[in-house]
Amino acid sequence: MRQRAMWSAVLVVGLALAGCGSASDSGKSTSSDGKLVVWDWKSGEPFAKSYLDKAKADFKKKHSDVEVEFVAQPFDQYYTLLGAAIQSGKGPDVMLFNGGGQIRDRVDALVPLNDYVTEDKQRLAGWEAFTKDAKIYASPVTLQGYPIYYNKAIYQKANLDPASPATTWDKFTADCTAIAKAGAKCFALGNKEGVGIQFWLSSLGSTTLTAQEYDAWITGKRDWQSPNVKRLFQLWKEAGDKKMNSDGANSTAMFNDSFALFQSGKAAHVMGLMSDVGHWQDFNEFLTPEKLGVMKAPIVTAGTTPSLPYDGGIGYAVAKWTKDPKMAADLVRSLSSADALKAFYADAGAIAADTTIDVSQAGPAVATLVSELKSGKPALHVALSSKTLDLMGRLSQQLLSGSITVDEVVKQLAASDQAG
């Protein structure tokens, strides 16, 4: 009797699976069937709703008979999943990418958008992060930068002037000593995943490298043996040795634990973001806009001029296997339309790629950030390949723990960088 029941169960499940197996195939490209599938990691979040609604409405005006389905994938596995989709040649029509190495490593699977986005070129900023060999592969949605935020309340407690943060590295370290005496840490640092060094490199890059070195770095001509490049890594180590960082940086996640340290007033500075989280809107909520400051990087190398490091943050791209690239490109354009980006700025607090959006109501920190966009430069770490960034993350942990020298670090990074 029991065996009969088991065989029946097998049969029932088998039949059920056979029926379910033919369920809709929303993971696959279906643009010719009146449907576009988009993969991202944003659409599931409540703050993205109005942004997507505006983008869909804009797209509907051009293609009223086409359905758009957004599939929010878990970010932790997003690029693994994308890799499998690219290898199998089947996946979404449109997909979200981070600017820099993540998209440049996968351009073989993408459609160049140059011919489709001509009208948007002037209105949007941040294209470089989605460009390879003069071909544009995604339209920017946000700008992502790496400003140094500071807590004015801690400055006051340490008897420092919140209106004039340090402009040189020596003055800055002296301020950090005062901050330590006041009971706070100088930097909120999370380097568990090795991401901390990336923000460090980009935040301090413009005041450590000369203008020529900086430009050469961005164009790929990186001199890893330059004293100024080495200085960036020495400063990283010095900050750790002088206990300027929050405790246990190598075991603290940047997202979102190090930002929580800053938000809760345990550290005076954080190298944060302009969009997503760990940015002005999050910090405003905890510190209030009046207490949140944004400072220029302190000058490490005499003669350098601080500039805001930023690039295109995230952007949507079109997959090569899509059946109607023009239609998919239209959707990408809708996702970067002015109305949609305005909603994204308002709800998510992102500095949108459309710099004409009025941000005057967002508080002084945003006003400072936006005013610095014009003189800003691409971030140093975004120019590196994801492989070199991974290596840098691991080496930065060893630097903090004291198990490797700066010379060895730059040697290994140079080898990885040259290997491409």
Partner 1 sequence: MSRVRLGWWLIAIPMSLLALATIYPLLFTANVAMKTRRDYILDRFSLTDALRWENISTAWNSVGMGRYFVNSLLVVTASVLLLLLLGSMAGFALSQLRFRGSSALFLGCLAGLFIPFQVVMVPLARIMADTALIDTYPGLVLVYVAQFLPFTVFLMTSYYKGIPPEIVDAARIDGSTVYGVYRRIMLPLGTPALLSVGILNALFCWNDVLMALVMMPSAEHRTLMVGVTSLRGQYSDNIPTFASGVLIAAIPVLLVYLFLQRQIADGVAAGSTKG
Query: Contact residues for partner 1 (CB under 8 A)?
Result: 3, 6, 9-10, 13-14, 16-18, 20-28, 37, 39, 41-42, 44-46, 69, 71-78, 80-81, 83-85, 87-91, 98, 255-256, 259-260, 263-264, 273, 276-278, 282, 285-286
The nearer residue to partner 1, 83 or 364, going by C-beta atoms, is 83
Q: At closest approach, how far in Å is the CB of 287 from partner 1? A: 12
Report the residue number, 208 or 281, with the smaller CB distance to partner 1: 281
- State the nearest-atom distance from the C-beta of 207 to partner 1, in Å: 26
CB of 26 to partner 1, least distance (A): 4
Q: Which of 6, 302 has the CB closer to partner 1?
A: 6
Nearer to partner 1, 81 or 373 (CB): 81
Per residue, what are the HEC states of the chain? Answer: CHHHHHHHHHHHHHHHHHHHHCCCCCCCCCHHHCEEEEEECCCCCHHHHHHHHHHHHHHHHHCCCCEEEEEECCHHHHHHHHHHHHHHCCCCCEEEEECCHHHHCCHHHECCCCCCCHHHCCCECCHHHHEECCEECCEECEEEECCEEEEHHHHHHCCCCCCCCCCEHHHHHHHHHHHHHCCCEEECCCCCCCCHHHHHHHHHHHHHCCHHHHHHHHCCCCCCCCHHHHHHHHHHHHHHHCCCECCCHHHCCHHHHHHHHHHCCCEEEEECCCCCCCCHHHHHHHHCHHHEEEECCCECCCCCCCCCEEEECEEEEEECCCCCHHHHHHHHHHHCCHHHHHHHHHHHCCCECECCCCCCCCCHHHHHHHHCCCCCECCCHHHCCHHHHHHHHHHHHHHHHCCCCHHHHHHHHHHHHHHC
For partner 1, the closer of residues 15 and 211 by Cβ is: 15
Comparing CB distances to partner 1, the nearer of 260 and 362 is 260
Nearer to partner 1, 24 or 361 (CB): 24
Minimum CB distance to partner 1, residue 43 (Å): 9
User: Nearest approach, Cβ of 266 to partner 1 (angstroms)?
Assistant: 10
Shortest distance, position 83 Cβ to partner 1, whole Å? 7
- Least CB distance from residue 212 to partner 1, whole Å? 34
